[in-house]
Each structure stands twice: as structure tokens, then as C-alpha cells.
Chain A
Amino acid sequence: MIATRRIFSVLVLLLVSTSWSLFGEPKTSRKADDKSSSGVSNDSYRGLSGEELWSNNCMRCHNIRPPTMYNDVQWDVIVHHMRLRANITGQEQRAIVEFLKSTK
């Protein structure tokens, strides 16, 4: 049992460290991407825009759905629900909702 745990721990640490250091996204290209999509929202929370908060928080668990998939009222309810599920803060919730509404 102990051996299994050790193997598990080593495997996980190995996967994380290699994937993080080797396969990370270059900062320059990320900035370029941000620039290309900067027309949607300028809200900032901890230096992150509503779009970045949306992308970072949602993609941790599932594919992100396009803002046009739901109307404004539906997004209000969905992000409220997701705030509880993902433990995001109130500021993040508002910034994400504002971004989603601003893209339509």
C-alpha cells in the first residue's frame, strides 16, 4: 500500500513538473493573443480581465462555452451557480458576467 502511494506521488510530481516547465505557453505569444482579443472587456481583478478569469476558471474543469450560447439572464444564473461550485470570489463573478454580456 505504501509502495503504491509512493509510486502515485512520484508519477504525479513527474507529470506536473515536466508538463509545466517544458510545455508552457510562451509569454510573448500569450500577450499577442491577449491583444487580439482585448476589445471585449477591460475589467481587472488581480490584474486579470473578465475574459482571462472566465477562461482560467472555467477551463480548469471543462471546455468553455461561447458567450453567445446563453443570453444575459441565463449567464447570470450560470455564473452564480458556478461561483458556488468553483469557489470563485464575488469580484471574479461580476467580472466574468460583465465580460460574457459585453461580447454580444
Chain B
Amino acid sequence: MKIRRYYLPAIIQAALLTIASPPARAQETATDGYVTRKEYEELKAQLLAMKKELDALKQERAVAPKRENSERQALSTTTSKQAKPEGRAVADAHKQVVPEVPLPLVQSEGLFGTTKFLLAGWADGMFEARNGQVSTFSASFDPIFLWELTPKILFDSRLEIDLSGSGTNVNLVNAQISYLLNDYIALGAGEFFSPSNVFVERFEPQWINKLPDRPLAIYHGILPNISVGAQARGGFPVGSTRVDYAFYVSNGPVLNTFDARRAGTLDFNSYTDNNDNKAVGGRVGFLPISGVEVGYGFETSKPGFQGTTFSRVQALVQSVDLEVTRDSYLLKGRINLLAQYAWSHVDHAVYDPDGSLGFGPLAFTSMQDGGYAELAYRPTKLNNDFLRNLEMILRWDHLSRDPSGLGDPEETRWTLGLNYWLSPSMVLKAAYEWDQPNSEPNRNALLIQTAIGF
């Protein structure tokens, strides 16, 4: 419409010039059929003016689609990107030629905001019948809030809402602000999943975790799950392979010293620090070929309370992990192999040195270890829909967390599971677990769960 508005005066002007020219010539020139030099110059000036105006209109027409496009993408581009120099240059040129036309929206889109928000997460319902315990149903809902303030800044937070007794527990699982420094480095600060524990970072959501419960050693005090601090992470190619990394500084764990059963173990659930020393940790992963990743994670800290005899005690936790995903034509399906093994070492220390707690003096170097290996197969290449949605899982997991000899015994489990996938992120799981803690009655269990990711 605007273009038409400017074409119209130009056409009218051209028509007037054509009509007005003969009288003008009649007034000033001879009647021999030729134009004078003056007439020629006037016509030339008018022609140049029209040409300039036409160029301006063409430029306007070229800018218009870009502007419409930028309006449509108001939610998917950032203010900074929209205010890039080229955009301003076009706007300025446009302003000079046609001053009365409003400035393109590239300058004012910031008024509408560009924040992108997404509510993700998962929910699950579970039935557990374990030997020696009362069978029970349970349910949990884990919303994940994602705010992308710009393409470089993301805030993410997860809540864990589950039932407990007659009430509901709401826990803040993580809350982190991240900034993408460049293609290979991202910085983050807040409460985050510990990079040294790859299972927690990647496989914890119940629609991703293939079995109804979680493996031993990952959640039992050998490795941190959540850290409060700052981290730097990313990945980069090395030839045809890839390396990924994450390093962090955090408050670190607290050394348990008051309880005979737990003396020498690390409490990773205490989010406020107990001393000025900060834990340092990380994980380095290597992807030699597509579908395979091996990783090494660690965290070193001084977990003792400040001002006590434990303040110099050093703790080191380490972990190795392996992830393999392979499509097999021979087996007509997909194989997933996950494995992680972790071990911790706490320096030699004397617990309850004066015997006032009733179990000391007890001197030892605290060591724990544990891990799991899980193999899953899903016949994704079969023609039968029902069979294609089935998945079989076998897991072995082990935990040895008895550094003082007074606490919990070793525990080894085997779990066999069968899943049915209703959609890529909704699953029905059934599993039987053979759970045999040393010197205790078995805790075998039947587990049934449904989980949905969104």
C-alpha cells in the first residue's frame, strides 16, 4: 500500500510534466520543433529527480519483506541480533529517503521481549513390593523450567514434588544460570547436577532411566549428585573424534564423624559449606566413534568442619563410565550399554578420639566403592509394532560402603526388566530385582512403574 502511495505522485508528476512542457516551450523557444538547452536541462533535472524517487521506492520495497519477516520471528531472534549494524544501516538509509515512513521494527522489537520459556519435565507412578517391607504405590512430578533469555543465556531449574506420609515434599533439585561464551565453552553458576556423576546429569529422569529404580553407588554417598557453585563446560572436536569436559568449584561434601555407622563417609546432601575450602571436580569424556563415550570424573575436597581435627582431611572421589548405543541389523534392534564405577578415598583419621561418642577412638582410612552395568535391547527393526515397542533390560549393581566396619554391609543386586514404549517418552516398566545384602535377609522386589517425559 505504501509503495502504491509513492508511485501515484510520481506518475502524476510525470503526467503534469508532459502536459506542462508544450506551453513552456511555446513561451520561451522557437517553433522549429527543437528544444532549447534550458528546456533540455530542466527535463534532465526532472528525470533525475524521478529516477531518485523511484530508486527510493525500490529500496523501500526491498526492506518491507525483511521487516515483515523480522516481525514474524520476534520470538526467535534477540534484541542484540535485531539491532545489528546492518539493520541500523538499512533503517538509516530508509529514513533519509522517506522521512515520513516509520522506522523498521528491527529497532523496536526489544519492546516485545524475546524471552523463550518452556515447561518440561516428567512424572511417574510406581508400585513396589519388596521383601520385608509393606508394598506401596508412590508418585512424583518433576517439572523443569527453562528460560532462554537470549540465545546465549539460559536459566534452568527443576523441582521434585513427591508424596510423603500425609503430605507432599517439594525440593529444589537444581537452579542454574548458564552463559554460552563461545561454541566450545559454557559457564554456569548456581545449583547444578554434579558433572562428576554422569548418571545424574543424563540418565536420572524416569522416562530415560530404563528401570524403575536407580542404581546403587550413584545415589549412596560415593559420588556427589548436586553441587552448589560454578562450572565451565563444553565440547570440541579432535579430528574425527570429540572430547567433552566439565569442571566446577563447589561447596563440597561434609565428613560424617559423629555416628559410628557413618563415620568416614561423605554427606553430599549438605548444600551449605562447613569450611572455607572448596571442592574442585569435573569430568572428561571421549567419543572415539559415534555411539560410544568413555568418561572419567572426580571431585577432591576437604570435607571436615573448620577448626576441628578433621579440617585437613582430604577426600577424593572418582568415577569411570561408559555409554554405548548401537543399532544392530543382526539382532534387528538397538543395544544400549551403560556402566559406571565409582570409588572414594578419605584420608586416615581418628574418629571419636576421646571416646565421648561411645565408639572411639576409631582410626581408619575410609574407602568405598560401587557401580553398575546395564544392558538393554529393543527390537526396533522388527515389523511388528508391539514387539518393536518392547525393551528388555538387565542390570547388575553393587555397593560397598562400610569403611568403619560398623555400618551397612555390602550389597549386590541383579535386576531384570521389561518395558513397553507407548510413545518415545512414555513407558510402562516392570522389573524384578534380586537384592541380597550380605548377612541380611534378601530384599527382592517387584517394581512396576509408568513414566512420561514432556
Contacts and interface: CB of A to CB of B under 8 A. Distances in A.
A5 B118 contact: no
Contact of B148 (A24, A76, A92): A76
B234 A89 contact: yes
B120 interface: yes
Interface string A18-30: 0110111110010
Contact of A81 (B156, B325, B329): B156
A5 B237 contact: no
Interface string B309-340: 00000000000001111111111001101010
B contact residues, range: 35 or more
Contacts of B182: 90
Interface of A: 1, 4-5, 8, 11-12, 15-16, 19-20, 22-26, 29, 46-48, 56, 59-66, 69, 72-74, 76-78, 80-81, 83-92
Given A15-B375, A56-B291, A74-B118, A84 B154 contact: yes
27 contacts: A4-B400, A8-B339, A20-B326, A23-B330, A25-B329, A26-B329, A29-B329, A48-B290, A59-B291, A59-B334, A61-B208, A61-B323, A62-B205, A62-B207, A62-B425, A62-B453, A72-B76, A74-B116, A77-B118, A80-B151, A80-B154, A80-B180, A84-B178, A84-B233, A87-B285, A89-B237, A90-B182
B324 A56 contact: no
A87 B291 contact: no
B154 A15 contact: no
B116 A76 contact: yes
Contacts of A85: 201-202
A25 B331 CA distance: 10
A68 to B, nearest CB: 12
Given A76-B148, A84-B154, A91-B183, A1 B245 contact: no
Closest 8 CB pairs of A and B: A90-B183, A87-B244, A23-B328, A87-B235, A63-B424, A77-B118, A62-B208, A77-B148
B345 interface: no
B293 A60 contact: yes
A90 B341 contact: no
Interface in B205-259: 205, 207-208, 233-237, 240, 242, 244-246
A47 B328 CA distance: 22
Interface in B151-175: 151, 154, 156
A64 B329 contact: no
Contacts of B285: 87
B337 A90 contact: no
Nearest to B202: A61
A20 B151 contact: no
A13 B188 CA distance: 35
A87 B233 contact: yes
A23 B180 contact: no
Contacts of B373: 8, 11-12, 15
Contacts of A29: 329
Contacts of A90: 180, 182-184
A16 B335 CA distance: 10
Contacts of A66: 424
Contacts of A74: 116, 118
A61 B341 CA distance: 18
A37 B285 CA distance: 30
B186 interface: yes
A9 to B, nearest CB: 8
Contacts of A84: 154, 156, 178, 186, 188, 233
A96 to B, nearest CB: 13
Contacts of A4: 398, 400
A89 B293 contact: no
Given A60-B291, A77-B154, A90-B183, 11 more contacts: A4-B398, A19-B335, A24-B328, A25-B329, A61-B202, A62-B208, A64-B424, A74-B116, A77-B146, A85-B202, A89-B184
Contact of B118 (A22, A48, A60, A78): A78
Contacts of B208: 61-62
Contact of A89 (B183, B322, B421): B183
B400 A1 contact: yes
A90 B117 CA distance: 20
Contacts of B328: 19, 23-25
A73 B72 CA distance: 12
Contacts of B178: 84
A25 B327 contact: yes
A62 B329 CA distance: 20
Contacts of B323: 60-61
Interface in B393-444: 396, 398, 400, 421, 424-425
